[in-house]
Structure 1
Amino acid sequence: MRHLAYAVSAPLPLGPAGLPETRSTTTVEPGVTMTRIVRGAFDPSTPWVVELSIPSGRTSPDPDAPPRSVQDRGSADDLVRRLTASGFDARSEAVRQPAVADVPAGVIGYRVRTTSTFTSRADAAAYVTRLQAAGFAARTWYAGWDGASPAKGQWSINVLTIDPREFRGHLGASFGPDLVNRETTTAIGEYAHARAAVNGGFFVLDPKAGAPGDPAGVGVYGGLLESETVAGRPALVLDDRARQTRIARPVWKGTVQAGSSTLELDGINRVPGLIRNCGGDPGDQPTDHPVHDTTCTDPNELIAFTDAYGPSTPDGPGSEVVLDRNDRVVRVAAERGTTLQPGQRSVQATGNLTQIVSALRPGHIARLGLSLTEANGANLIRPGTTVVNGGPQLLRDGAAYITQGTDGMVHPTDPSFAYGWVLQRNPRTFAGADAAGRTLLVTVDGRQPDQLGLSVPEEARVAQALGMRDAMNLDGGGSTAMSLDGRLVTHPSDASGERPVGDAIVIR
């Protein structure tokens, strides 16, 4: 790799003005560079704090709500009084939501922290132990991770830039050997023989929410649709030569036609009845709107599977029909769960749809129809096209356009979700394109005292500062990772190291 000097045009809008900032750029291959930006430095004056879990109180709109980091003011003040009576000094603080494209500015609730601060995590943890002994629930927290913290750093940001005027490689995404077994971003990159790889979209992590590794949103790999949309959410659309990177909100439709009957599919390559991040159809409970990190349910579903899913399709009650390349029925089973041969597909039915599939017979035709289109009707299932899920959107036409509400990053009955996911600093991965048509893939380390991460509003401002015109968030947190030639260049926030993920964007 060749190292180049990088001219700093404008500092990143992070921390106080005047912080030191360095940038160095490495040429990965013609048309691809990796720029590492380090802003600020670890600030030893930034304290550790102790934050309480707040039970719902007498004034709570939901007296049965579980303890949370953010509650109504009355519940927070009740906790402060209890803490004071037990000999602990604490205060309640308003948690403020800045205005974004679809959420107004305002106070979303109140948090409670002790007034004592600490120079080390160990000292804060000792105080938490005292609180727990007195019957309170609390956690340690580094104040630099607050989205509005004045901490002076450090921020570590990696930017892969692909210039289509010089790029002669291939840009796409991979999920590794199959959809349902997670691999690290580094391993996926090696599987794809990639020069560089960045973690991709959201995916199922908990087996109770589906098959771990399954994309929790739309996925098109090598022109093949392997996962359906979370309705209305943005997606990153890439083409093989990096010439048309853009943000879209695609619409999918799936059908199975048997004889004179045409039935709508509920999904592709996921466990029937479990809709991670919701955003399915009106039969789903509790909602068909996107709700991030929530699993909706539906007992009556038709799910299609491809041979990319894994060693076997999900087992359980219901029925399943296996189809050959020409949509001819190969076999029908009264239980779900089978092994698909290369080129075969299947359809699983649950609940009141089971008998429809059970009525098919070998030799019948059950034609699958799958479509994924942009708002203008453009087809996204075509050779050389990749579509990766994510959200929220960050920029549109160079201006901040954070679709926090539309994309499900607001839980109306739980302000703690937006507090932790949106307003606090976390590791982030985001992507988009600049005015020159270059693709940018960005990772930001976080959840460490010397790696502060970004809030979502900060993420949008950094995307602007990097010159992006359109940008969206991909998966972040412990999933954030970037590798170059099989070497991890980010700092994982999980104690166990680099996290296995569902898919990764690859440059080869």
Structure 2
Amino acid sequence: MTADLDPRTRPRRRPRRRLRRALVAAALTLALTLGGTTAWALNRYVIAHVEIADVDAYEAAQAGTAAGASDDADDATQDAADDATVTATTYESDDASISISTVVTGSGDDQVTYYVADVTLSDATVLRSAFADNQFGTNITETTSEIAEDNDAVFAVNGDYYGFRDTGIVIRNGVVYRDEGAREGLAFYADGHVEVYDETATTADELVAAGVWNTLSFGPALVEDGEVVDGIEDVEVDTNLGNHSIQGDQPRTAVGVVDDNHLVFVVVDGRSPGYSAGVDMTELAGIMQSLGAETAYNLDGGGSSTMYFDGSLVNDPLGRGTERGTSDILYVEG
């Protein structure tokens, strides 16, 4: 019997269903009681709204369509390079080679600690996406580690927290989930190359037809053609409540492209003076450039910035050793 090697159709381990957190139930009760603006805010930013209840089943149903469409188809940099890097561990398989390193720069309250995953894939579709609770919608969250464990991931980072907003183009594992172009996105193609693109100048169907496997909708782009992008300190990803600013020294997550199927992921810890103060956008871009990234893109940061490897949390989010829930991850299956 020949095994099904198509990642769009091979059976997936169904994630464990966790009980909905008591906080959500309490928020719903409070919303019904208070009414007005408070109820609107809780409904928009807290209460889960499920659009697709079983992502595995949805992707399986869309697999034939997705497969057919694919067939148609400066100073900061030097400072980062000069610091000592300690390789923590590595992973090798037929599908992926992964090396995790820790970098510490500066000292005292200016110290910054970040983690680098150098990832080489046998095929672009080895890098997959997964959603919290195996559901698609807004305000559906689990921690990066929980989503990773549910999907047998050996490596994972937080994604773009698509579920905080209802805009952006969301294509995951070759399947369209949302088509509301709003910002500068990142597209991973099945042939291994990656592009920064304008979401408002195309559609999700056009991207899938061109061979796009995954998209991310956050940003901004940090590095293009090997050069740090100008003006990245002034970019606002969203202008809605609670997520309008990404400036200043913060915990960060970024993905960089060295070459086809050769990626680097960086998670910077922050808001923990004496351990890691975090970095601004220009510093993050410098880190990515120092790692050889020709293209680099900023993902959701702050308390969401998380790297998971071989069953454990790699970094220390916000210096507390605990994770904040997020809506999605990028991962490599073990």
Give the corresponding residue for 2:85.
Answer: 22
Between the aligned partners of 2:117 and 2:296, the Cα distance in structure 1 is 14
Change (3 A) 1:174 1:436: closer
Q: What's the CA shift string for 1:70-102, capped at 9, x where partnerless? A: xxxxxxxxxxxxxxxxxxxxxxxxxxxxxxxxx
* Equivalent pair of 1:393/1:402 in contact (CA under 8 Å): no
Find the aligned partners of 1:431 and 1:390 in 2 and give their Cα distance.
12
Residue 188 of structure 1 pairs with residue 147 of structure 2: yes
2:287 partner amino acid: V
- From 175, 179, 194, the equivalent of 1:245 is 194
Q: CA deviation at 1:408?
A: 3.1
* 1:218 alignment partner, SS class: strand
Please state how far the C-alpha of 1:493 moved relative to its aligned partner.
1.4
| Structure 2 portions without partners, runs of 5+ | 1-74
Name the structure 1 match of 2:54.
none
Aligned to 1:464: 289
- Provide the C-alpha distance between the structure 1 equivalents of 2:178 and 2:187, rounded to a whole number of angstroms: 14
Q: Which residue of 1 aligns with 2:102?
A: 37
Q: Give, as a single letter, the amino acid of the residue that structure 1 aligns with 2:114.
A: I
Distance 1:222 1:436, change over 3 A: closer
| Counterpart residue identity of residue 161, structure 2 | F
One-letter amino acid matched to 2:305? T
Cα distance in 1 between the residues matched to 2:304 and 2:136:
16
In structure 2, do the counterparts of structure 1 residues 409 and 221 end up closer, same or farther at CA, with 3 Å as the change threshold?
closer
Cα pair distance change 1:156/1:372, threshold 3 Å:
farther
Q: Deviations over 1:436-455 (max 9, x none)?
A: 65112211111101112110
1:445 partnered with 2:269: yes
Structure 1 residues 435 and 222: alpha-carbon distance in aligned structure 2, compared to 1, 3 A threshold: closer
The 3-state SS of whatever aligns with 2:330 is strand
SS of the residue corresponding to residue 168 of structure 2 reads: coil
RMSD: 3.4
Matched, 1:408 2:240: no
The C-alpha deviation readout for 1:379-436, integer Å capped at 9, x for no partner, is 53xxxx121222101111101114648953597xxxxx65xx22x2111001121146
Q: CA deviation at 1:249?
A: 2.8
Q: Deviations over 1:435-489 (max 9, x none)?
A: 4651122111111011121100111111110100001101011100011123111
Contact 2:169 2:181 in 1 (8 A): yes
Greater Rg over alpha carbons, structure: 1
Q: Is the 8 A contact 2:168 2:199 kept in 1?
A: no
**Once structures 1 and 2 are overlaid, which stretch shifts more, 226-235 or 480-489?**
226-235
Superposition TM-score, scaled by structure 1 size: 0.44
State the shift of 1:42 in Å: 4.1
Q: Is the 8 A contact 1:392 1:403 kept in 2?
A: no
Is 1:225 matched with 2:176? yes
> After TM superposition, which residue ranges in structure 1, 4 or more long, deviate above 6 angstroms?
none
What is aligned with 1:265?
A: none
**Cα deviation digits, residues 349-399 of structure 1 (max 9, x gap):** xxxxxxxxxxxxxxxxxxxxx62439xx8353xxxx121222101111101
Tell me which amino acid in the other structure corresponds to 1:160.
Answer: A
Q: Distance in 2 between matches of 1:448 and 1:173?
A: 29
| Residue in structure 2 matching 1:393, options 198, 221, 233 | 221
Q: Deviations over 1:243-293 (max 9, x none)?
A: 223333345878xxxxxxxxxxxxxxxxxxxxxxxxxxxxxxxxxxxxxxx
Superposed CA offset, 1:192-215 (max 9, x none): 21111100003344xxxxxxxx66
**Matched letter for residue 434 of structure 1:** V
CA contact (8 A) 1:25 1:33 kept: no
CA distance in 2, matches of 1:407, 1:187: 31
Distance 1:168 1:223 in 2: 11
What is the rounded CA distance, in whole Å, between the counterparts of 1:23 and 1:12 in structure 2? 18
Aligned length: 250
Q: Tell me how far apart the structure 2 counterparts of residues 378 and 406 of structure 1 sit (CA, whole Å).
A: 31
1:489 maps to which of 310, 314, 325 = 314
Counterparts of 1:253 and 1:470 in 2: how far apart (Å)? 20
Contact 1:252/1:373, CA 8 A, preserved across alignment:
no
Q: What TM-score do you get using the length of structure 2 for normalisation? A: 0.64
SS at match of 2:303: helix
Higher share in helix: 2
Q: How does 1:373-388 map to 2 (within 5 A)?
A: 373=207, 378=210, 380=212, 385-388=213-216
CA shift in 2, pair 1:493/1:183, >3 Å = same
**Counterpart Cα distance in 2 of 1:496 and 1:27:** 22
Q: Which amino acid aligns with 1:371?
A: D
In structure 2, C-alpha distance between the alignment counterparts of 1:478 and 1:490, rounded to whole Å: 11
- CA distance 1:184–1:243, shift in 2 (3 Å): same
Q: Distance in 2 between matches of 1:159 and 1:432?
A: 10
CA distance 1:203–1:186, change in 2 (3 Å): same
* Corresponding residue for residue 163 of structure 1: 120
Mapped to 2, the partners of 1:234 and 1:33 lie a distance apart of 25
Gaps of 5+ in 1: 1-9, 47-150, 206-213, 255-369, 412-416
Distance 1:405 1:425, change over 3 A: closer
